[in-house]
Chain A
């Protein structure tokens, strides 16, 4: 499958799904007016990706996001956690800028709900 690249805008993040490296990166601000429309291409690509892969490293570095986007992120994590093989082999790097406890709390909530393995690296991208 092809690499998915969505460029960042002033209110939406950059998204890169790299099937070769088995990584997904979401970075920036995430307040689209319609989060469902914005995330649809990613969900479609992830469905394809899951057919031929059993692991992924997700890196999320978001400055802030609205509740609609938060729900879309939860649905993204559910796609991974609902597949036992994927769940066991995958990890989420929830990047925190400046040791931000509020952003970390959001990551902890996703971790609690989905049971996925979350890491909380500071500031720098690991991918």
Chain B
């Protein structure tokens, strides 16, 4: 997992530890809604070029939309640490790495959610997801609070994360999602 979110270190970690053979997309630094849409369009084009199946492309787009939207809504300005999104592949499996800075309050919320998702047995996860979706309430600013759950569900729980302390109230949140072609249901 990534512990030092500077872009050269991020890529170094991915190469050495995760052994990604192909980088498909690297986005680094502050973003807005236009960058979000452009990034997803570029990711789709790269995946089509590499002839990934449609279902995997759709999963990647949906997951990246949640990741980038979270970063866009909750990004902190920081001199050293910047948000990032990296999509790589190895042997027809896609790897999505992303990270951003979060507050102590967000850390508590994210940790509670993710640990809860991880504790749910695989056979119960679909019904948990369905119930959470049915019961979610949109906030005034349009948040459903389902982004992390969506990433978990669409990746079939191939989701790892870590949170590292940067300063008194700031933390880096890093996630790693693996999407294999076996995840794509038959059409």
CB proximity to A under 8 Å, residues B150-187: 150, 154, 184-187
What per-residue 1/0 map shows which CB atoms of A95-117 lie under 8 Å from chain B? 01111111111000100110000
B133 touches A31 (CB 8 A): no
Contacts A32-B142, A109-B130; A66 near B187 (Cβ below 8 A) = no
Q: CA–CA, A36 to B141, complex, Å?
A: 7
CB proximity to B under 8 Å, residues A80-127: 96-105, 109, 112-113
Q: Which residues of the other chain, A, contact B149 by a CB distance below 8 angstroms?
A: 67
Contacts A10-B34, A64-B40, A64-B65; A101 near B142 (Cβ below 8 A) = no
B66 touches A67 (CB 8 A): yes
From A13-21, A53-61, A70-78, the one touching the partner chain is A70-78
B143 sits at the interface (CB 8 A)? yes
Q: Which residues of the other chain, A, contact B59 by a CB distance below 8 angstroms?
A: 102
A11 touches B36 (CB 8 A): yes
The residues of A with any CB-CB pair to B shorter than 8 Å are 10-11, 29, 31-38, 63-68, 70-72, 74, 96-105, 109, 112-113
The residues of B with any CB-CB pair to A shorter than 8 Å are 33-34, 36-37, 40, 54-56, 58-59, 61-62, 65-66, 69, 72-73, 130, 133-134, 136, 138-144, 146-147, 149-150, 154, 184-187
B62 touches A102 (CB 8 A): yes
Q: CA–CA, A100 to B33, complex, Å?
A: 25
Cβ distance B48 to chain A, nearest Cβ, rounded Å: 10
Contacts A66-B66, A102-B154; A72 near B138 (Cβ below 8 A) = yes
Q: Which residues of the other chain, A, contact B66 by a CB distance below 8 angstroms?
A: 66-67
A10 touches B55 (CB 8 A): no
Cβ distance A106 to chain B, nearest Cβ, rounded Å: 8
A70 touches B146 (CB 8 A): yes
Q: Which residues of the other chain, B, contact A109 by a CB distance below 8 angstroms?
A: 130, 133
Q: List 28 A-B contacts (CB under 8 A).
A: A31-B33, A33-B33, A34-B142, A35-B138, A36-B142, A64-B61, A64-B65, A65-B62, A65-B65, A66-B69, A66-B147, A67-B146, A67-B147, A67-B150, A68-B144, A71-B136, A71-B144, A74-B134, A98-B54, A99-B54, A100-B187, A102-B56, A102-B58, A102-B184, A102-B185, A105-B185, A109-B130, A112-B130
Q: Which residues of the other chain, B, contact A68 by a CB distance below 8 angstroms?
A: 138, 142-144, 146
Q: Which residues of the other chain, B, contact A63 by a CB distance below 8 angstroms?
A: 61
Q: CA–CA, A72 to B136, complex, Å?
A: 11
A113 touches B33 (CB 8 A): no
The closest CB in chain A to the CB of B139 belongs to A36
